[in-house]
């Protein structure tokens, strides 16, 4: 009788481990919702990247302000619950002199595509920038802007190019 109880317990323990799935843990390498990648170029020589110094940027209607210095690329999160996101970019925004700030508002219009990743990771959202008005700006310091890749499914490539 003892033999049957021990065998039953071993079988029960083995079955409980067998039912665990790898989806119960979301690995750090699992792709998540990608950010919009904006790359900045020199308006006089369009092949050369241009670094932004003293740049502040934030989403309109948000209290989070981000500051970047000497970068030529920004990765900006898009709203997953809306079909557009508007950001404000302020050149010379990190100094105390507000008179030299140059402000441009950028509106990104897109379609959302939710993709099921796994039970542990949930969903991620990919975006498709609208062909006609996927990216608009107030053009205060931005000379020209354009969509380089309207499908946002990773952060490995530039989606929008800005010349200033």
pLDDT grade, residue 144 (50/70/90)?
confident
Residue 87 lies in a domain: yes
Higher-scoring residue by pLDDT: 154, 23: 154
Report the candidate in 109, 98, 125 with the shortest Cα–Cα distance to residue 31: 125
Higher-scoring residue by pLDDT: 144, 152: 152
pLDDT grade, residue 94 (50/70/90)?
low
Residue 70 lies in a domain: yes
Residue 89 lies in a domain: yes
Please determine, for residue 143, whether its predicted confidence score (pLDDT) is greater than 60. Answer: yes
Residue 7 lies in a domain: no
Higher-scoring residue by pLDDT: 105, 96: 105
pLDDT at residue number 108? 94
pLDDT at residue number 21? 56
pLDDT at residue number 54? 83
Please determine, for residue 19, whether its predicted confidence score (pLDDT) is greater than 70. Answer: no
Residue 73 lies in a domain: yes
Q: How many domains does the chain have?
A: 1
Residue 115 lies in a domain: yes
Residue 11 lies in a domain: no
Each as own residue / partner, the long-range contacts of residues 58-63 (CB below 8 Å, 24 or more positions apart, any chain) are: 58/87, 58/88, 59/85, 59/86, 59/87, 59/88, 60/86, 60/87, 60/88, 60/105
For residue 56, the enclosing domain spans 32-163
Residue 12 lies in a domain: no
CA angle 115/116/120 to nearest 5° reads 140
Across the range 73-78, mean pLDDT stands at 94
Q: What percent of the chain has pLDDT over 70?
A: 85
């Amino acid at each position: 009788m003892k033999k049957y109880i021990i065998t039953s317990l071993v079988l029960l323990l083995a079955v409980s481990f067998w039912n665990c799935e790898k989806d119960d843990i979301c690995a750090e390498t699992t792709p998540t919702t990608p950010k919009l990648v904006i790359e900045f170029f020199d308006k006089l020589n369009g092949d050369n990247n241009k670094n932004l110094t003293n740049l502040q940027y934030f989403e309109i209607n948000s209290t989070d302000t981000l500051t970047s210095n000497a970068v030529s690329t920004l990765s900006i999160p898009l709203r997953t619950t809306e079909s557009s996101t508007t950001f404000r970019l302020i050149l010379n925004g990190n100094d105390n002199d507000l008179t030299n700030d140059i402000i441009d508002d950028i509106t990104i219009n897109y379609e959302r595509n939710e993709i099921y990743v796994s039970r542990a990771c949930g969903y991620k959202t990919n975006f498709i920038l609208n062909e006609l008005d996927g990216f608009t700006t107030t053009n205060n310091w931005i000379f020209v802007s354009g969509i380089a890749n309207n499908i946002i499914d990773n952060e490995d490539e530039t989606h929008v190019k800005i010349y200033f």
